[in-house]
Structure 1
């Protein structure tokens, strides 16, 4: 064995793609040592791949020093337009309950995102990234996990406290060794992606989706603006499509010309893929947690793949950190499956419904799509049934075992497209400006430092603080909400949350609301629930 060191204090991350990079950075942010294994010899920076990064994921990356650069380099878009042939059916814009530092979405190639995350990893001494290391076995037990594999210098074996598997959708052997099933569906139609560098001035800041355009009749085309005057174009094609033959025949040039017209263009990258909808039957096996494509594969219409994978990584990181440090019961890590499997199910439900409309496979689905699109031109109610993808959004942990519900703030269910629910237990905090020690800081950044308690104007924060510190072993910050108000902000913390004078808000270390209560006893019960005590 080439690596006999125990490493009993380290967390292993398997896979060094963007979800694995995020997991490594987030674990290290909590002070944990991380060893990352990837079977590739080096990073393969190629193609646009997962391009669409959602506001709240930029916010997560910002906590590890990468979000601002991703946002600044990406192309910002705030409008998603949907067409049937040449007729625009609707345009969607995005609500922001706070005053977010980040736009709703930015488009940037996955390759560039990975470079930015690699730069952040390069300045993180707690992360040891090992390329050309293929993990062949993962054996969890009560005290940790044994990881075995092969490297350029021979086999290796080491022990770890936890493993976060971010090894992509094709890690069947590792999943099966853990007794995890990966079930779902693959679609017959395929999709052609081309990254085209050209000038389309009117399309620089909006995503366009076309049903049945004359240049791809009976199917769809999706167009996204990207940096450097590049556009990512996805054509739905049939299962017999041959990219090499289309290049040879000149049909690819004709296909592109139907969109860009006479403008000069350059093909930066092309690929063909098949869409899959798959999900693991569970996202954990003892001390092994599955994240990203390893746990769930969804179609790209809605940008829910990479974005949900990064949210997996954050959920895993803070729970592993709190359990490892004794701040919480080890049972806290088991709630990763409760929360993130539910998120994966919701994403799969949404994207499967979209694919039923985009690529109908039954006579009933085909008829429904045809009638809906035919009616949508004149009937606004029919337009509401046109499904071009519900774009990525955070999952709301209202049914989580860690959440203490508040009867006065009931969750009304999934809001309309482009909207977010009102702040309440289980909901991600709005990205609102705050101040702490006279320094401007976003409320979410403040929450991500510790457990956080905010008290309303009529609550004695000092007595609440004494009660919490006597009973909760984790670091906790108790503050009157008035003490963190930014008087110069367009919206204050109190306004954004709707906090009442008699209320106490408990915030999770991933910036979700855990509870809204009205006395210290209720707060301690909510904190115990949050820490799985």
Structure 2
């Protein structure tokens, strides 16, 4: 962990859910004191909620000592099966770009994830957790933010990171930001069911129009402890209490699991929303997670995107507070994460148009695609059950230096990743540095990194590093890549210097030694 900054006011993080927890832990890792506020009196460990944790998010959590634990306790799945009525259309096997130590996805309840992150927070002296602190006032000046709470407490912050969740309307109102979008009419029933379903424990299953939910969808995810999360699309006037009372809920469940014992661990009914705020930076207040954007959960883009918000905000706040970067670096938080939110909105809105058609034309299109997909493989790409979460590509970021030799070719095909280049997250792999075996992304997240391929001007890279106030490490790829896997994953050419940000994204790929210093400074805003 970095040394603690001097007498500056702490960063206040509003919202003690997974996004706020992640932000607090990452800020503390950079030596930044944090006060973590939540309006609730205590944690409410109920229900699975956001269960699907993506590989790159596990990687972020590992930087604060939680990723491997969450992965070990979760159920690993690598295959997503899609069905139409009684036909299996296709099965998507998820890729590994590089040699990650984490599986593509693990399923574990949000409640358990929060418990593990709570344990890490309890061991961190720089984080002060305060429950029953409902924020009712935010007043900014040029040096900080005065935060007022409903319990009468007043606190002073250098910056505020608002991770108040989907119900963060009070925070958004205080900041005067919009939250445009719409809500879907159909509702969805969730049941966490403990039972034995042999062969289903390592797969996500998505059913279009099954006979046990005609005209709608069902999604089934495996969870730890022989528990399965089942989501049924139901009509807008669905009445859970009535269905429990007359036995229809039991029949609904048995239509899937058959005549076997089961226990309902948790159940809920919810409605999907697609909304995004117009600003994610409001002076000294940054918005993150569901407080800034809401998307339908098909593809697991909610919590996973929120953790990416937290990491993006944390390193930038830390670099500004430590004097390593100008405050203008924070403008790039909105530029990058708002673009990511719009990407998620576009992807999930397309999914919802396919899952819940709005008009006769959309209904006809969906039926035609599904009918054709039974016998025509070329139709599979048109079947949209949710494009699974993936890191955003900061190719248009003001921090990214374009490279004509490595242009970004747009959103890659479903289930694939773009080639490594400016704006993408780096591939992972085993490396050896000064006799110590570690992973490349662990090195990347220690600060700014200059990675030199064979033939690059290492002396010029080192000189550029010295011109930077922030911590910059210079490493030679050939010296650390003892297995050769990393060079292949990067697709690295001779004579290149890769500028890599503290969130493991590539800021630049350079062949001109004189371009390294400008690219470093650009990466710091």
Are positions 1:477 and 2:473 aligned together?
yes
Corresponding residue SS for 1:383: helix
Are positions 1:194 and 2:196 aligned together?
no
Are positions 1:274 and 2:267 aligned together?
no
8 Å Cα contact 2:428/2:486 also seen in 1: no
Corresponding residue SS for 1:404: coil
Match of 2:102 in 1: 102
Match of 1:3 in 2: none
1:85-108 residue CA offsets vs partner (Å, 9 max, x unmatched):
010111111111211100000000
Are positions 1:244 and 2:237 aligned together?
no
8 Å Cα contact 1:142/1:286 also seen in 2: no
Corresponding residue SS for 1:264: coil
Larger mean Cα displacement after TM superposition, 362-371 or 273-282: 362-371
User: Where does structure 1 lack aligned partners over 5 or more consecutive residues?
Assistant: 1-6
Query: Superposed, which structure 2 residues align to 1:192-231 within 5 Å?
Result: 192-231=189-228
8 Å Cα contact 1:440/1:486 also seen in 2: no
Shift of 1:62: 0.3
1:404-455 residue CA offsets vs partner (Å, 9 max, x unmatched):
0111111111111111111101000011111111111111110100111011
Are positions 1:486 and 2:482 aligned together?
yes
Are positions 1:526 and 2:522 aligned together?
no
Match of 1:512 in 2: 505
8 Å Cα contact 1:444/1:511 also seen in 2: yes
Match of 1:90 in 2: 90
Shift of 1:173: 2.3
Larger mean Cα displacement after TM superposition, 114-123 or 496-505: 496-505
Corresponding residue SS for 1:234: strand
Shift of 1:8: 4.3
Match of 2:340 in 1: 343
Corresponding residue SS for 2:326: coil
Match of 2:492 in 1: 499
Match of 1:55 in 2: 55
Corresponding residue SS for 2:205: strand
Shift of 1:492: 2.6
The whole-number CA distance in structure 2 between the counterparts of 1:457 and 1:202 is 48
Larger mean Cα displacement after TM superposition, 370-379 or 42-51: 370-379
Are positions 1:177 and 2:174 aligned together?
yes
Aligned residue pair count:
520
Match of 1:324 in 2: 321
Query: Superposed, which structure 2 residues align to 1:26-175 within 5 Å?
Result: 26-151=26-151, 155-175=152-172
Larger mean Cα displacement after TM superposition, 244-253 or 132-141: 132-141
1:41-83 residue CA offsets vs partner (Å, 9 max, x unmatched):
0000000000000000000000000000000000000000000
The whole-number CA distance in structure 2 between the counterparts of 1:274 and 1:460 is 56
The whole-number CA distance in structure 2 between the counterparts of 1:330 and 1:520 is 27
1:378-428 residue CA offsets vs partner (Å, 9 max, x unmatched):
222222211100000000000000000111111111111111111101000
The whole-number CA distance in structure 1 between the counterparts of 2:58 and 2:38 is 24
1:428-484 residue CA offsets vs partner (Å, 9 max, x unmatched):
001111111111111111010011101122123234212330x21111111211121
Corresponding residue SS for 2:36: strand
Match of 2:4 in 1: none
The whole-number CA distance in structure 2 between the counterparts of 1:281 and 1:360 is 27
TM-score (norm 2): 0.97
Corresponding residue SS for 2:425: coil
The whole-number CA distance in structure 2 between the counterparts of 1:381 and 1:496 is 29
The whole-number CA distance in structure 1 between the counterparts of 2:456 and 2:22 is 38
The whole-number CA distance in structure 2 between the counterparts of 1:205 and 1:96 is 17
The whole-number CA distance in structure 2 between the counterparts of 1:254 and 1:246 is 10
| Displaced runs of 4 or more, over 3 A | none
Shift of 1:129: 0.5
The whole-number CA distance in structure 2 between the counterparts of 1:386 and 1:16 is 37
Query: Superposed, which structure 2 residues align to 1:274-423 within 5 Å?
Result: 274-423=271-420
The whole-number CA distance in structure 1 between the counterparts of 2:300 and 2:86 is 24
The whole-number CA distance in structure 2 between the counterparts of 1:66 and 1:76 is 16
User: Where does structure 2 lack aligned partners over 5 or more consecutive residues?
Assistant: 1-6
Distance change (3 Å), C-alpha of 1:168 and 1:347 = same
The whole-number CA distance in structure 2 between the counterparts of 1:267 and 1:445 is 40
